[in-house]
Amino acid sequence: MPDPIDPIAVTAYTATSALGRGRDAHLAALRERRSGLRANDFTAAALPCAIGRVDGVEDAALPDALATHECRNNRLAWLALQADGFLDAARAAIARHGASRVALLLGTSTASIGESEASYRDLEDGRMPAWAQRPEVHNPHSLGLFLRNLLGVRGPCLTTATACSSSAKIFAKAERMIRLGLVDAAILAGVDTLCDSVLYGFNSLELVSPDPCRPFDVARRGISIGEAAGFALLERDGDATRPHLVGWGESSDAHHMSTPHPEGLGARLAMTDALARAGLTPADVGYINLHGTATPKNDEVEAGVVAALFPAHVRASSTKGWTGHTLGAAGILEAVVSLLVLEHGVVPGLLGTTELDPVCGPQIAIDNANAEVCVALSNSFGFGGSNSTLAFARGRRAA
């Protein structure tokens, strides 16, 4: 079993999704049980499904000095950075620690592929049009290039692309870098935007529900795809009153490209390792934000592992009924939800779900609850069996 780690303060965090911009918008939507999902109005062919689209991205033009990075993904990142004072907090941390002592860690699965799609739709005599001839946006590290130029960070700048676990795994990467003394702080960013490749690709796998998704429902029919941008700032010796990252677990079961291990071996290992690094037992957990995609196999396997590992008093739910599945941004978006639970005591249930699958244990609940939660876990499981679980604790309990 892994050794416990020292807690690291999350000194600032924010998210923008179909629920709105910033922490207050997300907290209000959770309390009101108000979904951000709507009928697909993104794809030209109007694939019949529900999506979690962020309003205002089309109007969020980048500053002129960064125009070479123009694409939907970077526009959403720019929009989200301005919520909750995060851009100011990030710049203050860079000034405090020094640009070379701050890491910039990115999680994304599709990056700016939407810009490449548009380029190929607008070919001129078989060539990419002049407006699209910007190598900065036609590669998986486009988000990192944009944010590095914007923020002036000179420490490690790395992109993780492990499908739906991408922006969860960067929390673990940040902890390792800080513990090893490579940096004193890390700015984490997870951003993925809607694009045709994702919508039609998942539809070709028969994983997209024609209706808003219903996680853990006995009649669930698949995912609803969304878009989001989330940011977090982790600092060595941060404010003890802030929430802390206290543990993480990662695994790669490599059972199948798009189906979880039938016994949930990778998911179980990620959860137990996160608890071990946090020095916690399953009974110490107050809330688990589940991966809960509303696909038949993921929900069945994840529910079974949770029922076997955790006592009945632990609350668990998926919040994808609010936001949709935001792919590479899901890890950090749902980490933000977990942090909101710790700070405000609003424990979300399931949205869109009416009858729980019998495989679900007593931990998984449909209705919201108000409760003091000291420890929260957040699960993110990606294609190919790339699994990640994060453990967060509230305030001084982690110190």
Higher pLDDT, 178 or 115: 178
Residue 179 has pLDDT above 60, yes or no: yes
Q: What is the pLDDT of residues 188-243, one digit of tens each?
A: 999 999 999 989 988 988 899 999 999 999 999 999 999 999 999 999 988 989 99
384 pLDDT higher than 70: no
Residue 185 — φ and ψ, nearest 5°? -155, 160
d(CA 136, CA 320): 31
What does the alpha-carbon distance between residue 340 and residue 42 come to, in Å, rounded to a whole number? Answer: 29
Q: Are 136 and 68 in contact (CB under 8 A)?
A: yes
Any bridge partners for residue 67, and if so which? Answer: none
47 burial via Cβ count (<10 Å: 0-12, 13-18, 19+): middle
Q: Token pair for residue 309?
A: 């590992």
* pLDDT cut 90: percent of the chain above it: 81
271 and 291 in contact (C-beta within 8 Å)? no
- Displacement of CA 163 from its chain's centroid (Å): 11
| In the chain, domain spans | 8-398
The predicted-structure confidence for 92-102, as pLDDT tens digits, reads as follows: 999 999 999 99
141 is catalytic: no
Nearest partner of 192 among 225, 147, 156, 223, judged by Cα: 225
Is the model more confident about 186 or about 2? Answer: 186
Q: Which helix (H) or strand (E) holds 185?
A: strand 185-192
Does pLDDT of 12 surpass 70? yes
Rounded CA separation 142/129 (Å): 19
164 is catalytic: yes
How long, in residues, is the chain?
399
CA distances for 324 relative to 209, 210, 233, 255, 283, angstroms: 11, 13, 24, 25, 29
Q: Is the pLDDT of residue 155 over 70?
A: yes
Tokens standing for 259? 């189906």
Write out the two tokens for 163.
């499908």
Of the pLDDT bands very low, low, confident and very high (cuts 50, 70, 90), residue 382 is confident
Catalytic residue among 164, 195, 213, 360: 164
Cα–Cα distance, 122 to 132 (Å, whole number): 9
What does the pLDDT look like over 353-363, one tens digit per residue? 999 999 999 99
Distances (CA, A) of 1 to 7, 179, 293: 18, 18, 29
Of 71, 244, 291, 360, which one is the catalytic site residue?
A: 291
DSSP at 19: T
Tokens for 312, please give them. Answer: 């009945």
Structure tokens that stand for 39 in this block: 């009928």
Task: Look at residue 370 in the predicted model and tell me its pLDDT.
Answer: 97
Selecting among 26, 244, 261, 325, the annotated active-site residue is 325
Whether 261 is catalytic? no
Mean pLDDT of 81-96: 98
How far is the C-alpha of 131 from the C-alpha of 119, rounded, in Å?
Answer: 8
Q: Which of 336, 284, 341 is CA-nearest to residue 314?
A: 284
Pairing of strands 102-107, 157-160: parallel
Separation of alpha carbons 224 and 49, rounded Å? 7
Residue 52 has pLDDT above 80, yes or no: yes
User: Is pLDDT above 90 for 396?
Assistant: no
C-alpha pair distances (Å), 149 with each of 68, 143, 202: 11, 10, 33
End-to-end CA distance of the chain: 22
Cα separation values, 252 from 106, 293, 308, 383, Å: 20, 19, 20, 10
Q: In sequence order, what are the residues at sequence separation of 6 or more whose Cβ sits closer than 8 angstroms to the Cβ of residue 126? A: none
The pLDDT, as a whole number, for residue 398 is 62
Neighbours of 22 (CB within 10 A): 18
Q: Locate 105 and state its tokens.
A: 């860690």
**Taking the CA of residue 397 as centre, how many other CA atoms within 13 Å lie in the half-sphere pointing to its CB?**
20
Dist CA 177 CA 182 (whole Å): 5
pLDDT at residue 399 in the model: 53
Residue 259's identity, in one-letter code, is T
pLDDT at 16: 98
The top-level CATH class assigned to 8-398 is alpha beta
